[in-house]
Amino acid sequence: MIKRHRVEPGSKFRVRQVDAASTAGWSGGKRKTLKEFEDLNGRLHALQNLLWAEHDRKVLVVLQGMDTSGKDGTISHVFQGVNPLGVKVTSFKAPNQEELDHDFLWRVHRKVPAAGEIGIFNRSHYESVLVERVHDLVPAKVWKARYAQINDFERLLSESGTSVLKFFLYIDRDEQRRRLLERLADPEKSWKFSASDLEDRKQWDAYMAAYEEAVTRTSTSAAPWYVVPANKKWYRNLVVASVLVQTLEGMQLHYRKPAVDLRNLEIE
């Protein structure tokens, strides 16, 4: 499951090659899927505690996708039950004046996870080669230079002990329409609606071209991209949880040694 969604460095990503409704041949029914996800969530909980206890390495999860692709839902489902002390979520909105006064990575670097943490970016530095490109907010020569700058930044994180996992949650245009209509009809979701959602929808093809180039240019061995078919929410969650658990297990985490010699410790 995991390998087929990873974009290998040097390969070209094309949206048309992805079926947003795909479940990659997963044959499990609802009961099997729920059991698999519960198992993954339990393993994630244990591994996250171990990462926090080791207090050395870090994990950064980057979530990108069009409006309604499920970034919030992925966070709430995949990370349910984990220790909130060791998980930090950052949602990147339009940059404020202070952030605009610095380079585009300044506000991002300040939010990367510290030792022992899992950091989650709901949108990220990639907005600077997506939104700013599509809406002509910066000259082409500026956003074109950012691919190499992003690769250098993520390589720095990797070499400093951060495992960087990037997920493009891909829904198709029809599914977005269905979700937007659902959002408008539901008072519990309608507060999320913004006129900019419709403006971005008009630029769908331009966004897909921007995603194609961003994923192609920045999927590296240090920070790979995973393109996740996200029309089916349960499958989206299953893929993200699987990649995260496999990555943490591959880190071979261990508890650090106590600061004192426990053999001679007496408690009165």
Dump pLDDT digits (tens) for 216-250. 999 999 999 999 999 999 999 999 999 999 999 99
What is the rounded distance in angstroms from the CA atom of residue 64 to the CA atom of residue 83? 24
- The pLDDT assigned to 7 comes to 97
Q: What is the pLDDT of residue 29?
A: 67
The confidence score (pLDDT) of residue 127 equals 97
Which pLDDT tens digits describe the chain residue by residue (268 residues)? 788 999 999 999 999 999 999 998 787 666 788 889 999 999 999 999 999 999 999 999 999 999 999 999 999 999 998 999 999 999 999 999 999 999 999 999 999 999 999 999 999 999 999 999 999 999 999 999 999 999 999 999 999 999 999 999 999 999 999 999 999 888 888 887 877 788 899 999 999 999 999 999 999 999 999 999 999 999 999 999 999 999 999 999 999 887 777 777 778 7
At residue 156, the pLDDT reads: 98
Q: Helices marked H in 55-139 — which ranges?
A: 71-78, 97-100, 106-109, 131-134
Cα 213 from Cα 14, distance rounded (Å): 9
As a 3-state breakdown, the chain gives helix, strand, coil percent values, each rounded to 5, of 55, 10, 35
DSSP run (H or E) holding 184: helix 173-185
Which pTM does this prediction carry?
A: 0.94
The domains of the chain, with CATH numbers, are: 2-254 (3.40.50.300)
